[in-house]
A and B are shown apart, each in its own frame.
Chain A
Amino acid sequence: KNQVEQSPQSLIILEGKNCTLQCNYTVSPFSNLRWYKQDTGRGPVSLTIMTFSENTKSNGRYTATLDADTKQSSLHITASQLSDSASYICVVSDRGSTLGRLYFGRGTQLTVWP
């Protein structure tokens, strides 16, 4: 069964600190993995996308890693800011359908305190 599991479910950190969010997946055949940021009451916005051959990708203070062998990904946030408070969703796409089926994790709810 294709699944995406994220940990931790929620996380509280102080402003300026770093944190790492985890994503494990069983989706096959794998196409790509995206990390989305979803602010409360808003739609998700893509942060990074990684294909099978990519190990690391950065977008400003966000750095995603992918280990396609162990089917694990992480999102590292450096020097956190109050505006980083949001839900971070790991989304894995399969390449077995024309639609490009997406499998969503439940997200990690990050709260950054001043």
Chain B
Amino acid sequence: EADIYQTPRYLVIGTGKKITLECSQTMGHDKMYWYQQDPGMELHLIHYSYGVNSTEKGDLSSESTVSRIRTEHFPLTLESARPSHTSQYLCASSEGSGSREQYFGPGTRLTVT
């Protein structure tokens, strides 16, 4: 079982609130990723990081931001949540270069009312 954790697992919050989704891994992986997944749909990459102080936007445009101050920690922040942000957010990590296996966290189910 992969050692990658996400908190909270479920979050219901009102419009306009600032939220931070936490992701941490204890495998020492350099690469980390954030995906967004709606029910019955494929995962979409919204952010990734090659390592500390490296962050890049993914294929799907997102109003969220990320930071990578420590290898093991890759939080995602929404400054002002909106109902359109309601989705499942999955964090993943991988080691090395190229197409190594990505290990996924359990996800955060976000609902913005």
Binding site for B on A (CB under 8 A): 4, 9, 31-32, 34, 41-46, 49, 89, 93-95, 98-102, 104-107, 109
Contact of B101 among A46, A94, A101, A106 (CB under 8 A): A46
List 6 A-B pairs, minimum CB-CB distance, nearest first.
A43-B104, A100-B99, A93-B99, A104-B42, A31-B99, A104-B43
Tell me whether A43 and B90 are in contact in the complex, defined as CB-CB below 8 angstroms, given that A105-B42, A107-B42 are known contacts: yes
Chain A residue with minimal CB distance to B6?
A43
15 extra interface residue pairs, beta carbon distance < 8 Å, beyond A44-B104, A46-B101? A9-B40, A41-B109, A42-B107, A43-B6, A43-B90, A43-B91, A43-B107, A44-B90, A45-B104, A46-B103, A89-B42, A95-B98, A98-B50, A101-B99, A106-B41
Task: Count contacts on B: residues with CB < 8 A to the other chain.
Answer: 28
Residues on the B chain within 8 Å of A101, using CB: 99
Complex CA gap A89/B48 in Å reads: 21
Tell me whether A100 and B97 are in contact in the complex, defined as CB-CB below 8 angstroms, given that A41-B109, A43-B90 are known contacts: yes
Residues on the A chain within 8 Å of B97, using CB: 98, 100
Residues on the B chain within 8 Å of A31, using CB: 98-99
* Shortest distance from the beta carbon of B97 to any chain A beta carbon, whole Å: 6
Interface residues of B in 65-113 (CB under 8 A from A): 90-92, 94, 97-107, 109
Q: Is the CB of B42 within 8 A of A32?
A: no
* Shortest distance from the beta carbon of A37 to any chain B beta carbon, whole Å: 11
Q: Is the CB of A99 within 8 A of B31?
A: yes
- For A32, A43, A101, the residue with the greatest tally of chain B CB atoms inside 10 Å of its CB is A43
- Kindly state whether residue B21 has any CB partner on chain A within 8 Å: no
* Shortest distance from the beta carbon of A29 to any chain B beta carbon, whole Å: 11
Residues on the B chain within 8 Å of A98, using CB: 50, 97-98
Residues on the B chain within 8 Å of A49, using CB: 101
